[in-house]
Amino acid sequence: MAKTKATGGTHLGRDSRPKFLGVKLFDGQTVKIGSVIVRQRGSRILPGKNVEMGSDNTLYATGVGVIKFRVTKKISFSGTQRLAKVVDVLDAMPKAGKTAK
């Protein structure tokens, strides 16, 4: 008997599963606690206010509010500067201050 079929399948047809990376919730959208904001490889986007980074660099909300993306300058240990994207979750309703009497 033959070791392989005469018109057997190809040996090249392998591919990895999709990773579904990217921004999941955008600027101005409301979020709940635990909502995934960004799935990423590495820290391309940094966590800001009310945002934490998971062990796989996923950014998720730790508070309820509205998403705001911003750009800030980061200084590395060698003194070089780079522009870094930061995502914040701002309070949906600002807290009212005390009224003057």
Q: CA–CA separation, 87 vs 73, rounded Å?
A: 14
Contact 39, 21 (CB under 8 A): yes
Q: What is the pLDDT of residues 51-89, one digit of tens each?
A: 999 999 999 999 999 999 999 999 989 999 999 999 999
The CATH number corresponding to 22-90 among 3.40.50.150, 3.20.20.210, 1.10.1370.30, 2.40.50.100 equals 2.40.50.100
- At residue 2, the pLDDT reads 63
- At residue 6, the pLDDT reads 65
pLDDT score of 12 more than 90? no
DSSP 8-class letter at 1: -
Residues in the chain: 101
